[in-house]
Amino acid sequence: MFTKILKYSVFSGNKEELISYIEGFEKINIVSGNPEVLHNGLNDKLLFSSFTGERTVIIPDGIGTVLASKIIKKPVKEKIAGIEVMEEIIKKCEKEGKGIYLVGAKEEILKGCIEKLKSKYPRLNIAGSHNGYFDLKDCDHIIEDIKEGNPYALFVAMGSPRQDLFIINNMDKLPCKVFMGVGGSFDVFSGKVNRAPNWMIKFGLEWLYRVCKEPWRIKRLSSIPKFLLQVVKYNKYK
């Protein structure tokens, strides 16, 4: 159920299998393993230790990661978008009466995200929230609020590596079962940012849509060829 890409074990099943897999954990950190995130992990001991830990599952969120799995001839079943996993967990929480807690984004984006989620999932228990503008070393008040809310899932939307560090620093302190860094997902749920059309998602072109809408992202695309080159070299000489 896993494909070894560089030094990472990347989940190779489909989205439904992933949701079933995470049920077997007392605590689980879901990492959206796009090339940028995984490249960051290779250059940071703390991130790498977390990404390769027993309580972490890396999902192939990104066409670059999917391509990497094909390069090593152990293809994953499908690209698994983090925002889709987040929504599946939200559906589960609404159905089972479990809470979620949201951390990240600007205050207005966060409020918009909450409003849209409440509209779409009226029985969802949003146990609490906090914007992403705080000092990671001085956030005990947020930790206490999360504890008080006792959510099943904690979604952190502050970009990598900031969201990863927040989870790493606080995973053992919190009662949540599911921890997940979700990047710009709050922007999408709030309606500020739209996902690519389904046909672009299907053909692995969501990255192109996002670059067209947000040209500043093009600088971040350089991580894809760097990552793929590392994969080729590692697979050749291992």
What is the pTM assigned to this prediction? Answer: 0.93
pLDDT digits (tens, 9 = 90+) for 29-72: 999 999 989 988 998 999 999 999 999 999 999 889 999 999 99
**Cα atoms found within 13 Å of the Cα of residue 167, Cβ hemisphere only:** 37
| pLDDT of res. 26 | 96
Domain housing 152: 2-237
Number of domains, the chain: 1
> What does the pLDDT profile of the chain (238 residues) look like in tens digits?
999 999 999 999 999 999 999 999 999 999 999 998 998 899 899 999 999 999 999 999 988 999 999 999 999 999 999 999 999 999 999 999 999 999 999 999 999 999 999 999 999 999 999 999 999 999 999 999 999 999 999 999 999 999 999 999 999 999 999 999 999 999 999 998 877 788 777 767 776 667 677 776 666 667 788 888 889 888 766 5
| pLDDT of res. 165 | 97
Instruction: With beta carbons less than 8 A apart as the criterion, state whether 103 and 166 touch.
Output: yes
Angle at 49 between CA 89 and CA 166, to 5 degrees: 55
Sign of the dihedral through C-alpha 160, 166, 168, 171 = negative
CATH number for the domain spanning 128: value is 3.40.50.2300
| pLDDT of res. 238 | 59
